[in-house]
Each structure stands twice: as structure tokens, then as C-alpha cells.
């Protein structure tokens, strides 16, 4: 037996698919002195990998997850452990058929070959399926199964062959030592290991391990029930592990997957059964393995009946019985995304957890690249463990959200669907006033943000058809024409917007200027009182963020960024601080209120004696002003393209300022305006890009069309690749398009919501210089233009103003036209309104 080394550069805890993939890629990228430990025996130490059903359906509505899956499939194939079987997602209802049409959009957008097929197509390949039960199916020929344990062994062996890896099994972690905020040591039953970096890749055990170091990996072990039924005569007729396509019975949340003579039936339909990591049995205590808990048949009975309906002759075959049945544990997270990256609590302590078999090798590669270069080829920011706010790391939050999401695993989830549980956790100071105004709250990062206000319903009569009503239920779900009415009222008069969800942090200290200058693209060596809007790049020149920075003093900058990604942005700044600078989180100290519209100056002028004229308070400047006895920091910027300010107000005075603005604006008809305008309609009309939609680590400033004439001389992260990008032709160009005709084949008008593929007018596929297919990054109404706008990265030769293309929505083509191939706004292109 291998003894535990006393030290290592990196310790990887866990020998499931993630840990094994990770050590392989670390070794491949040149890392040496890697120690991998697991408390179980190899090759199956008893975690979730060991009982996985091991099949892969590549299509997901999330680009990030789809790309990780495609990369994983490529790796499994290289290892020779992939068997292609094809797979059907079958629909029993018309509602599901519509969802399958939407899945076709995602498949086309991510470049995955799929087809909507008839029940006959299914029974031609699976004769024992009752075709009368289904209306149709989504056929993915590239679906297959993998041997994830064999893959893991091969990956460990490749790392060992490079002399990079020592593997020690049956060694359990007892504790972790952290010194001055850095991980120092892993204490195990085999002795202590000094380490520079520790990666927790322990799946369902990860929270327990992280807790030993004072960090949080907010996931929960949850039961996924699976049984194996056999022998089934129809399956024994053909050789090998799998020769029939896998079936996902989407409406019953079940799957049927051949495994030799047996059929595995798994379910996501049973009641959510959550466990605690510390209550998972030891290897000795478990009858099978720690993550294969006793099957609770009563939870599964309804699913078994439904499976029998679909495949009565096979599952009900004479002599077939249940060979194996488990309550298998897997990891669920509060937002469904994996937990990747360095923990914000402990330097050098990384997480690579909450990953499915289908993403394992892709995640292994991405995390290894991230550890090596500070970024990965596939953008994984949705999975960045730094994304969470404190309340999201609590056990109660994790359990509540996973409890709600478990049955949505195969569900039909609208892109704007809101959570029902764990609401009301972060309330803006003006929350009571917003409720009184009938705010319809959507959640971002725990904050309750008004999306629109029922009190503005009266505006619908005022603006008539200009609010662009939507007739189709799906298009108008989680939406209201009031958003567009608020938009028009803001453009005509003025609107007040609650922006409390912003993440705000200060960079302070004698080296503050150096810290900001070295982190952001824009010139940060500016006068006090200047506001800069700037991209933040990673070292390969991809977007890490885009945000605004105010210089408040010679030694103080205030960074304002989106709530959703704000904590990851803050960690990025912290990670790049020089000596003499610090980051101070101010998110909970200030609320932000936006006041915009042609009447904004009149309204604010009634509350302050300060000079807020255009010359006295120019665009892109900030300074403190007095609203009576309340001091606020006012910043003259706009994300909606109107004259106005963001007002940063101490939390406890936010409600008062909110009321003051409404009182002062009453005679001008000021209205509260929701995030529907701020985040979508106002922004799209102005061509403003949003991180997570248009901007991510795989996009460049040049492609996004936001390059400035000059690049500052000072060094900053990503400068060299950015200069190279500027010198080269872009591989894709971000464009704004209008939908020319919304009429569907059925006669109704349809409105795209985002994620749809852009094709030629004839429906032919387009490919950009990255080999990617164009898709809609953002979609929304432009009420001031009377158009529905789409943004998409197009191949450069297609990015021509006036070019006629098409968007595919629910398997129908709609004509679209390119209206801008750079950041030029379609509304007020000269930006005259911002100047007021």
C-alpha cells in the first residue's frame, strides 16, 4: 500500500469522476507533486460516480453545461469508454411537445444534431415501447453511455505515467489546517499532508470537508431512486451493454436505460429526499456503499407504474424482477449549477463538486485550466463558487431551494421562472412602498426586485398598442406589458428605479489607484469625481466582468456591479490587489436609486440646492449632494439612455429618498420603473451589453463592439491579448437585430425570449470564426422603436447592417434584419438624451 506523502503541491480529495479528471488535466498541464486521496477503495470508492447510470444527453438550455458535456463526451470517446446508443426524450403531452421544440432551439444554438420525430420513429428502434402513450419525441443520435469508473482509472494512470501523481486510497480526511487565511495542511488517517493547494472533489461529502477549513460548499446530498429490472427477453436478444436507445420519459420525470439484459429505471419524480453530509454512512455502516442507501419502495411505486405503461411488454416480461434498487445519493445545489473554483473564504482551497457524470471530464479540464492560468477555455462563471452571498450558503437555503428544484430536473422551466421558496430574504429599504405600489417582485441574489408595478397599469390605456402586448401564454409568462408602459413613461417623463441589488465595494488604501488600474481596462488614473464604465478582462482577454468605478478620493474607488455576479467580481479584485490596497464590501451599506428621464433634472432640482446643471454636473461624474438633510452620492450615468443619476444612499435613508423623489416628481408624472425596463427594454434600445448574456469569458471587447479608440499605456490584466485582438479580424461580431414579422404559422404573434438560433432566411446554419452557431443572447421589446430586438454574435460576413436573416423559435422561422453591427444604439444613436 502506498503511504501518505508528508507534503504535496496540490492535494485532490476524492477519486470520483471529477477528482480523477482533475488530476489527469493538472498533470497534462504540467503540474507535478499531486497527491490524490480517497477514503474508499479504488476503482470505486463509494461515492456517486460508483452508482451513476452513466448515460449522457448533451442538450441543455444552459450553454455552459452543454459545452462542458460536449467536452466530456469528446474526452470519454478519446478514452474509449463511450458507447453511442442514441436517446429519445418522449412527450406524453402537447405542453411537453412545445418544450421539445424549445429544446430544438438550444440544440441548434449549441450545434448538437437533434430531430423532432414521430412515435413511429421511436418504436422502429424500440419495438417494446407503447407508441400510443406518446405524442412525439426529441431524438439525439449522439446520446450514449460511458464507463465512468474505467475513465477515472485511465485518467489517474495517465497522470501517474507522467510522474505527476501519487494516489492513496482508504485514507480519510480528519481535518484541514488554515493559517493566515491560506490552506496549509490536510490531516488524514494516514498522516498529515502539507499542501499549497487543496481541491475538494468529494461530491456529496464536500460540505463536510469544506467545513473543516471554515469554508462553505453549499450543496446537499439528495436521493435519486433507481432500480434495475431483468432479465428482459427483448434486451437479451442483442449483445453488449446497450443496443437500444435510452428513453427519457419527460412527463413522468423517469428514464429507462438498457444495461445488458436489465433495464434501469430512474426517477426524479419522487418526493425530494435530502440528507446531511455528516449523516452519510461510513463504508462499514453501509450495506452497499455509502451513497447507495436502502430503497424506499413506496416513493417509487407510482413511477414504476408509469414505466410499465410505457414499456409494458419489456418491464412486465415473464421472469423479470427487480435485481437492484437504491436510493442513490447525488449532489444538488441551490441554483442547479456546479460548485467550481477557489473558495472565497480560504486561499488555496478549491471546490470541484456538484458535477454530473456528463460534465465530469469537462469540469476536470476547466478547473485544471483555471488553477493553471486563472481562467478556462469554457466559460464557467455560472458555476463559480464565489457567486454566493452569505445567506445562500446556509443549510436552510440550500435545502429549501433544492427541495423545490428536485422535481424540476425534467421539468418545463420557463427562462424567467421565479422561485417559490426562500423569498423575501433581502429587502430594499423602500420595499414597503414598492409593495404598496403593487410591485411584482423577481429575485436576484436574494434581493426582491420590482420587475414592474401594478400601480402603473393605468399607463396601459395611455399608451395603447405601443406597449406591444403578447398574446401567447409562454411569451407573456413572467412578463407584463406594464414593463413597456413604464419604459415609455420614463422616456416621456421620468422613472425611479430601485437598484438595491447592486454589489458595491470600495478599493481603498495608498495603492488603491494601482489596484484598480491594474484590474480594469479603462483608464483609472482619473480625477476624483470621475465615473468610468469599464470591462474587466481575464488573462486571455475574455470578459471577466463589466462594471462602473467611481473615484471618490486619491485613495478610494467605489466599484458598482451587478448583484448576480457581484461577489465573484469582488473576489477577482481581492485576488489582484497589490500591497497597500484593500477591498471593503459596501453592498449592505448603500442602496442605489436610479432617476432617469427628460424630467430627471427638474425633479432632482426640487430636492437639492446643489448645481446639477449639465455643466455643473457633467455626464460620467459623481459627487456628494444634499437632499435636504440627507447626503447622497450622485453619479451621472445611465443604463437606459436617459438624463439622470444613480443615487447612492445609506440603507437606512433609502426609503426616505425614494419617497422624496416620488413627491418631487408627482407634478411631472414620475413613475416607479421596474427592472424589466432597466435590465431589458431600456438597455436593448441603447445597445448596452450585459455580463452573462452578451459578455463572458469566451467573448472579447472587439467582438462585443465596445473597443475604445485607444488602449491605456498602463498594464492591466488581459492587456496583451486585448492588443492582439484589436490587431486581428474578429471571429464574431455582436449585432442588434429587429424581428420583421412575428406571425406564426398558426396566425398568432410570437416573441422570442432569448437563446434562439439565428439562421439564414432559408433556415441554413451559420458558423462564426470560433466554430459556434449564432444565438440570441438577449431579446426584448423596444417600445420606443415599436420593435422586438435581439442581440446575437454573427459571423463577420453576416454582420452587415440591413442583412436579412431569420430566427428559429419553437421550430418556426421568423425574418430578422441586422440593424447594428457595433454598439451604436438603435434608439437615440447620438446619445443626445443622456446629455439632457
Partner 1 sequence: MTNVLVCIKRVPDTLGEVLLTADEQAVDARFVGCTVSAHENCAVELAVRVASADGGTATVLSLRSDA
Catalytic residues: 224, 255, 546
d(CA 290, CA 292): 6
Phi, psi of 65 (to 5 degrees): -70, -40
Residue number, 214 or 294, with CB nearest to partner 1: 294
Residue 284 interacting with partner 1 (CB under 8 A)? yes
Candidate ranges 152-160, 208-216, 278-286, 673-681; the one touching partner 1 (CB under 8 A): 278-286
Nearer to partner 1, 272 or 281 (CB): 281
Which residue from 226, 335, 332, 326 is spatially nearest to 275, judged by alpha carbons? 332
Closest distance between partner 1 and the C-beta of residue 254, in Å? 22
Q: What backbone torsions phi and psi does residue 406 show, to the nearest 5 degrees?
A: -55, -45
Closer of 148 and 327 to partner 1 (Cβ): 327
710 binds partner 1 (CB under 8 A): no
- Cβ proximity to partner 1, 43 vs 281, nearer residue: 281
Find the binder of partner 1 among 189, 282, 418, 588 (CB under 8 A): 282
Q: Could you list the beta-strand ranges (E) of 597-728.
A: 622-627, 630-635, 644-650, 671-673
Beta carbons of 602 and 496 less than 8 angstroms apart: no
- Nearest by Cα to 688 from 640, 733, 645: 640
| Binding flags for partner 1, 490-529, as an x/- string (CB under 8 A) | ----------------------------------------
Query: With the C-alpha atoms ordered 147, 149, 154, 158, is the resulting torsion angle positive or negative?
Result: positive
Query: Which residue in 538, 450, 527 sits closest to 486, CA to CA?
Result: 450
**H/E run at residue 403:** helix 395-405
Distance CA 165, CA 185 (A): 18
- Which residue stretch of 191-199, 206-214, 288-296, 532-540 sits at the interface with partner 1 (rule: CB under 8 A)? 288-296
Q: Which residues contact 772 (CB under 8 A, 6 or more apart)?
A: 111, 732, 793
Do 794 and 776 touch, CB atoms closer than 8 A?
Answer: no
Smallest gap from residue 288 Cβ to partner 1 (A): 8
Looking at residues 430 to 459 of the shown chain, list those that interact with partner 1 (rule: CB under 8 A): none
Length of the chain as a residue count: 836
Stretch that binds partner 1, among 285-293, 401-409, 602-610, 813-821 (CB under 8 A): 285-293
Give the distance from CA 724 to its chain's centroid. Answer: 29
Q: Residue 194: is it exposed, middle or buried by C-beta count within 10 angstroms (0-12/13-18/19+)?
A: middle
Query: By CB under 8 A, which span of 289-297, 331-339, 357-365, 719-727 interacts with partner 1?
Result: 289-297
CA distance 308 to 256: 10
Q: Where are the alpha helices (DSSP H) in 437-554?
A: 458-463, 473-476, 481-492, 512-519
Site mask for partner 1 (CB under 8 A), range 739-758, x = bound: --------------------
Nearer to partner 1, 329 or 739 (CB): 329
Would you count residue 294 as binding partner 1 (CB under 8 A)? yes
- Please say whether the beta carbons of 716 and 522 come within 8 A: no
Which grid coordinates are listed for 828? 437615440
170 touches partner 1 by CB under 8 A? no
Least distance in Å: CB of 284 to partner 1? 4
Q: Which stretch binds partner 1 (CB under 8 A): 122-130, 162-170, 171-179, 293-301?
A: 293-301
Contacts to partner 1 from residues 757-786, by CB under 8 A: none
Q: Which part of the chain contacts partner 1 (CB under 8 A), choosing from 291-299, 449-457, 793-801, 802-810?
A: 291-299
Among 278, 285, 615, 713, binds partner 1 (CB under 8 A): 285
CB closer to partner 1 out of 181 and 294:
294
Query: Listing from the earlier edge strand, what are the strands of the sheet with 321-332?
Result: 115-117, 136-140, 87-91, 246-249, 254-259, 262-267, 220-230, 321-332, 292-294
Q: Does 41 bind partner 1 (CB under 8 A)?
A: no
Regarding 293 and contact with partner 1 (CB under 8 A), the answer is yes
Dist CA 31 CA 8 (whole Å): 11
Query: Cell digits for 784?
Result: 420606443
Piece of 43-51, 290-298, 514-522, 615-623 that binds partner 1 (CB under 8 A): 290-298
Q: Which is nearer to partner 1, 286 or 711 (CB)?
A: 286
Under the binding rule (CB under 8 A), the answer on residue 598 touching partner 1 is no
Query: What does the block give as the cell for 557?
Result: 474607488
**DSSP conformation letters of 780-800:** EEETTTTEEEEEEEE-GGG--
State which residue, 293 or 632, has the beta carbon closest to partner 1.
Answer: 293
Report in angstroms how near the CB of residue 229 gets to partner 1 at its nearest: 18
Q: How far is the CB of 276 from partner 1 (least distance, A)?
A: 12
Considering only 135, 160, 212, 286, the residue that binds partner 1 (CB under 8 A) is 286
The phi and psi torsions of 122 (rounded to 5 degrees) equal -70, -50
- Min. distance of Cβ 301 from partner 1 in angstroms? 16
User: DSSP character for 174?
Assistant: E
Q: How far is the CB of 282 from partner 1 (least distance, A)?
A: 7
Strand ranges across the sheet with 503-508: 531-537, 543-553, 556-561, 503-508, 582-585
Q: What whole-number distance in Å separates Cα of residue 237 and Cα of residue 260?
A: 10
Binding residue count for partner 1, defined by CB under 8 A: 9
Q: How far is the CB of 4 from partner 1 (least distance, A)?
A: 25
| Residue with Cβ nearer partner 1 (203 or 290) | 290
Helix (H, G, I), strand (E, B) or coil at 165: strand
If one asks whether residue 274 binds partner 1 (CB under 8 A), the answer comes out as no
> CB of 203: closest distance to partner 1 in angstroms?
17
Element holding 592 (H helix, E strand): strand 590-596
Residue among 287 and 710 whose Cβ is closer to partner 1:
287
Nearer Cβ to partner 1 (281/669): 281
Residue 371 parent element (H or E): helix 360-373
Choose, by CB under 8 A, the member of 132, 240, 278, 287 that binds partner 1.
Answer: 287
- Using CB under 8 A, which of 55, 205, 255, 295 touches partner 1? 295
Selected binder of partner 1 within 281, 302, 411, 578 (CB under 8 A): 281
Site of interaction with partner 1 (CB under 8 A): 281-282, 284-287, 293-295
Amino acid at each position: 500500500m502506498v503511504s501518505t506523502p508528508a507534503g504535496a503541491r496540490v492535494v485532490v480529495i476524492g477519486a470520483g469522476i471529477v477528482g480523477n479528471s482533475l488530476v489527469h488535466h493538472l498533470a497534462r498541464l504540467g503540474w507535478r507533486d499531486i497527491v490524490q486521496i480517497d477514503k474508499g477503495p479504488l476503482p470505486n470508492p463509494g461515492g456517486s460516480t460508483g452508482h451513476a447510470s452513466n448515460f449522457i444527453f448533451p442538450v441543455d438550455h444552459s450553454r455552459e453545461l452543454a459545452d462542458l458535456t460536449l467536452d466530456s463526451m469528446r474526452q470519454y470517446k478519446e478514452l474509449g469508454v463511450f458507447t453511442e446508443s442514441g436517446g429519445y426524450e418522449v412527450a406524453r403531452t402537447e405542453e411537453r411537445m412545445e418544450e421539445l421544440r424549445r429544446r430544438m432551439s438550444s440544440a441548434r444554438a449549441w450545434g448538437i444534431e437533434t430531430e423532432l420525430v414521430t412515435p413511429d420513429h421511436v418504436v422502429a428502434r424500440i419495438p417494446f415501447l407503447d407508441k400510443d402513450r406518446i405524442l412525439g419525441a426529441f431524438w439525439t443520435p449522439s446520446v450514449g453511455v460511458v464507463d465512468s469508473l474505467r475513465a477515472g482509472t485511465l485518467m489517474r494512470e495517465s497522470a501517474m505515467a507522467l510522474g505527476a501523481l501519487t494516489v492513496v486510497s482508504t485514507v480519510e480526511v480528519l481535518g484541514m489546517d488554515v493559517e493566515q487565511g491560506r490552506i496549509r495542511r490536510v490531516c488524514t488517517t494516514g498522516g498529515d499532508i502539507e499542501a499549497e493547494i487543496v481541491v475538494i472533489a468529494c461530491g456529496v461529502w464536500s460540505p463536510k470537508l469544506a467545513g473543516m477549513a471554515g469554508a462553505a460548499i453549499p450543496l446537499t446530498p439528495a436521493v435519486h431512486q433507481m432500480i434495475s429490472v431483468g432479465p428482459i427477453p427483448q434486451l437479451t436478444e442483442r449483445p453488449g451493454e446497450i443496443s437500444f436507445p435510452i428513453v427519457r420519459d419527460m412527463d413522468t420525470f423517469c428514464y429507462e436505460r438498457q444495461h445488458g439484459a436489465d433495464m434501469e429505471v430512474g426517477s426524479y419524480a419522487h418526493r425530494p429526499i435530502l440528507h446531511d453530509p455528516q449523516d452519510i454512512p461510513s463504508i462499514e455502516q453501509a450495506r452497499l456503499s455509502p451513497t447507495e442507501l436502502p430503497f424506499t419502495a413506496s416513493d417509487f411505486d407510482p413511477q414504476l407504474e408509469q414505466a410499465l405503461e410505457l414499456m409494458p411488454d419489456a418491464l412486465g416480461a415473464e421472469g423479470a424482477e427487480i435485481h437492484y434498487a437504491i436510493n442513490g445519493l447525488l449532489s444538488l445545489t441551490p441554483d442547479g449549477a456546479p460548485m467550481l473554483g477557489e473558495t472565497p473564504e480560504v486561499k488555496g482551497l478549491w471546490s470541484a463538486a456538484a458535477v454530473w457524470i456528463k460534465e465530469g471530464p469537462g469540469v476536470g479540464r476547466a478547473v485544471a485550466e483555471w488553477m493553471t492560468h486563472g481562467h478556462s477555455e469554457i466559460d464557467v462563471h455560472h458555476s463559480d463558487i464565489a457567486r454566493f452571498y452569505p445567506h445562500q450558503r446556509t443549510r436552510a437555503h440550500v435545502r429549501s431551494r433544492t427541495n423545490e428544484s428536485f422535481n424540476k430536473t425534467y421539468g418545463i422551466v420557463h427562462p424567467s421562472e421565479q422561485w417559490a421558496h426562500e423569498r423575501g430574504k433581502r429587502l430594499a429599504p423602500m420595499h414597503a412602498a414598492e409593495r404598496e405600489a403593487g410591485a411584482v417582485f423577481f429575485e436576484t441574489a436574494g434581493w426582491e426586485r420590482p420587475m414592474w408595478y401594478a400601480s402603473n397599469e393605468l399607463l396601459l390605456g395611455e399608451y395603447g398598442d405601443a406597449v406591444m402586448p403578447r398574446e401567447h401564454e409562454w411569451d407573456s409568462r413572467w412578463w407584463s406589458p406594464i414593463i413597456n408602459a413604464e419604459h415609455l413613461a420614463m422616456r416621456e417623463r421620468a422613472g425611479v428605479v430601485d437598484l438595491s441589488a447592486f454589489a458595491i465595494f470600495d478599493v481603498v488604501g495608498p495603492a488603491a489607484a494601482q489596484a484598480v488600474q491594474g484590474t480594469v481596462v479603462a483608464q483609472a488614473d482619473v480625477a476624483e469625481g470621475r465615473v468610468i464604465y469599464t470591462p474587466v478582462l481575464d488573462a486571455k482577454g475574455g470578459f471577466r466582468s463589466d462594471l462602473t468605478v467611481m473615484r471618490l478620493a486619491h485613495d478610494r474607488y467605489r466599484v458598482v456591479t451587478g448583484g448576480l455576479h457581484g461577489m465573484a467580481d469582488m473576489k477577482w479584485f481581492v485576488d489582484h490587489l497589490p500591497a497597500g490596497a484593500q477591498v471593503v464590501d459596501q453592498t449592505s451599506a448603500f442602496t442605489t436609486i436610479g432617476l432617469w428621464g427628460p424630467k430627471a433634472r427638474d425633479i432632482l432640482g426640487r430636492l437639492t440646492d446643489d448645481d446639477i446643471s449639465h455643466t455643473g454636473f457633467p455626464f460620467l461624474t459623481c459627487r456628494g449632494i444634499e437632499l435636504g438633510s440627507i447626503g447622497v452620492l450622485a453619479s451621472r450615468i445611465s443604463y437606459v439612455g436617459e438624463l439622470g443619476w444613480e443615487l447612492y444612499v445609506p440603507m437606512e435613508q433609502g426609503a426616505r429618498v425614494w419617497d422624496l423623489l416620488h413627491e418631487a416628481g408627482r407634478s411631472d408624472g414620475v413613475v416607479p420603473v421596474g427592472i424589466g425596463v432597466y435590465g431589458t427594454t431600456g438597455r436593448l434600445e441603447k445597445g448596452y451589453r450585459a455580463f452573462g448574456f452578451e459578455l463572458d469569458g469566451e467573448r472579447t471587447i472587439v467582438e462585443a463592439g465596445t473597443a475604445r479608440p485607444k488602449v491605456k499605456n498602463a498594464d492591466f490584466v488581459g492587456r496583451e491579448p486585448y492588443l492582439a485582438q484589436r490587431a486581428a479580424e474578429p471571429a464574431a461580431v455582436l449585432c442588434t437585430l429587429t424581428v420583421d414579422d412575428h406571425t406564426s404559422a398558426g396566425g398568432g404573434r410570437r416573441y422570442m425570449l432569448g437563446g434562439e438560433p439565428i439562421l439564414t432566411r432559408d433556415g441554413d446554419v451559420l458558423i462564426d470564426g470560433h466554430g459556434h452557431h449564432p444565438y440570441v443572447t438577449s431579446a426584448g421589446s423596444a417600445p420606443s422603436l415599436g420593435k422586438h430586438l435581439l442581440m446575437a454574435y454573427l459571423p463577420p460576413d453576416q454582420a452587415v447592417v440591413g442583412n436579412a436573416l431569420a430566427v428559429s423559435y419553437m421550430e418556426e422561422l421568423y425574418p430578422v434584419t441586422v440593424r447594428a453591427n457595433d454598439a451604436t444604439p438603435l434608439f437615440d444613436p447620438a446619445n443626445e438624451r443622456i446629455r439632457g
